[in-house]
Chains A and B, each alone.
Chain A
Amino acid sequence: MTTSLPPAGLSVRHLHKIYPPDIVALYDVNLELPLGEFTAIIGPSGCGKTTLLKIAAGIETYQQGAVAFAGEAIAGNPSWKRSVIYQDVRLFPWLSAQANIAFALESKGIPKAEAQQQAREWIVRQGLEAYADAYPAELSGGTRQKIGVCRVLASQPDLVLCDEPFSALDWNARESLQHDLLHYWYEQRKSVLFVTHNVEEAVYLAQRVVLMSARPGVIKEIVDVPLPDERWTVRRDSPQLLDIARYVNNHIADEVRKAQLLEQELGY
């Protein structure tokens, strides 16, 4: 059999993660994502989706299994090629907005002067010239995350890992950042792994939505989203989108109920 498989992106095989002493965060997780896919992971809180993302980033260890990206084992090695957009942004408070972006570029190995230049261009493209020299403490939450997204996208990672990046933002900022991310994906065709608990957001952004169940975290189902790649042209209330979201919601509802029962049992 010689079907030509798409080149492998993130590959997770028989992954087990236990937080000592006995909390099973991930149990035999298997996931094969083609290179260049926009994937969302959704599940109730405590289902291990953030743990999975951290393992993919290389900042979390695991007990058993194999995790690789584009054929390269990850094994606890963080790299700019697999960069993370965090919910709490994590800008360096002692660096100005522009310097935060330049930090990412310099970490990738771009010479200082050129990094400054490119960082400047990102700031200008986002229309944030007024804030270029401002420290993070002086910026609003939305602007902060805009800089945070620029910082990650500027170094053009092959895998953009998103840990509920927009859930703390107001509607305006969220929409504009979602579109920034979509355009990056659309133009560069790099892989995106988007963890969220917001079903509408997952369906609106991703080509495929991975549903995870609660403790232990296992992958329950993968839902295709047959919407055009130019997602910014899709209305948020389009019937097709709402149908998929409803389907996912119903499944999630089951999982949430299960998770709650389990938590009561465990006495959390």
Chain B
Amino acid sequence: MTAQELQVTRPAAEPESVAVAPDAILPPSNRIINLGAGVGVVLWLLVLAAHRLIPQVGASFKVPADYLTPVALVVLGIFGVTFGIAYRLPTQRPRVLAIYRVLIVLGAVLIPWEVASRLAWIKPPFFPSPSKVIGVYIEDSSKLLLSIAYSMRLLVVGYLIGCIAGVSFGLALGWSRRVSNWSMFWIRLIGPIPATAWIPLAIVIFPNSFTAGVFLIAFASWFPVMMLTWSGVAGVPKALLEAAQTLGADEKRLLRQVVIPAALPSVFVGLFMSLGTAFAILIVAEMLGVKAGLGWYITWAQGWSEYHKVYAAMLVLGALFITVVSGIFKIRDRLLGWQKGILRW
């Protein structure tokens, strides 16, 4: 068939190209920044007003140290500084807004708390005033810091041992049929026993409370890490294994360059999950009689009915958890950079 026989239609002219603006992500507008700063400042002024203007019902002779006023002033200062940054450096606006959101919620919680405390609707020692909780960080800081150090030592040692054991067991189970055939029954039996149920045995076996605590935390983190490593290995696409084999990869290369990278996303889910368990067990383990530690601190403070210390230590635990988790996320993002754009937890 020649061109003459074909019915050919051609457009008269090239359609004019339409200029499209590049996909710029616009920083949050002035209005949003102003609104955020405005609401925040008003809320924190209210916090300050409630604290300074409402007389304390049932006040004792001893006037407690005032820690809320300096905190409120610092927060107001932060609003001032970040507001300036938002206008000087518009690219920093998303960060500034993130700070605003946290401070606004904190202010909104503090107002009713402070009012209720001033009017003695809630009473110490179980429900102390905000100022009293803040004061713990200043008055009891050395004991608190020592406790953080002890807790972190116990947690890190136990969690690392548990994770290393979990990943190794998981790989062995997923890779070797013989290993899984022989150990399957026992793992199903022993794995789900709560770590706390091991306490009586741990106390007897281990020479001191630190090693017993390490064992309990390691045991608690071992099981989820192992199960998810295993399921990650089991889920390695057969197509990729075949591809590696037909390229001539031997067992060692298959394991190190195909199985482990493919299982890694699942392994990280296990690491994340077991961290929560590890924290829970940490508190229990520190009740076995250690010299210092956050769990110990909480129990000890409760014993003296110093509930403000209990709450202060709880907040520290939360902050520690966030720190450790974001550390794990950093490692994950480095190792799993190839997953860019794939949906993640």
Contact = CB atoms under 8 A, between A and B. Distances in A.
Chain B binding surface, main DSSP class: helix
Interface string A136-165: 011000000000000110010000010000
B248 A155 contact: yes
B257 A83 contact: no
A184 B249 CA distance: 23
B246 A78 contact: yes
A233 B79 CA distance: 74
A94 B261 contact: yes
B3 to A, nearest CB: 14
Interface residues of A, number: 30
A86 B248 contact: no
Contact of B247 (A88, A137, A155): A155
Contacts of A137: 338-342
A104 B249 CA distance: 8
B338 A80 contact: no
B260 to A, nearest CB: 9
Interface in B250-266: 250, 253, 257-258, 261-262, 264
A152 B40 CA distance: 62
Interface string A79-95: 11111101010101111
A155 to B, nearest CB: 7
Interface in A102-116: 103-104, 106-109
B243 A135 contact: no
Contacts of A86: 239, 243
A59 B257 contact: no
B1 to A, nearest CB: 11
B338 A94 contact: yes
A107 B341 contact: no
A57 interface: yes
**Centre residue among B242, B248, B253 by max chain A CB count within 10 A:** B248
A108 B250 CA distance: 9
B248 A80 contact: yes
Interface in B203-255: 239-240, 242-250, 253
A151 B249 CA distance: 13
A95 B261 CA distance: 9
A107 B244 contact: yes
Given A135-B338, A135-B340, A137-B342, A92 B240 contact: yes
Interface string A42-79: 00000000000000011100000000000000000011
B126 to A, nearest CB: 53
Given A80-B248, A92-B240, 14 more contacts: A79-B246, A80-B246, A83-B247, A84-B246, A86-B239, A90-B239, A103-B244, A103-B257, A107-B248, A135-B337, A137-B338, A137-B339, A137-B342, A151-B247
**In the A-B complex, the 7 residue pairs with the closest CB atoms:** A80-B248, A90-B243, A78-B245, A94-B261, A107-B248, A107-B249, A84-B246
Interface of B: 239-240, 242-250, 253, 257-258, 261-262, 264, 336-342
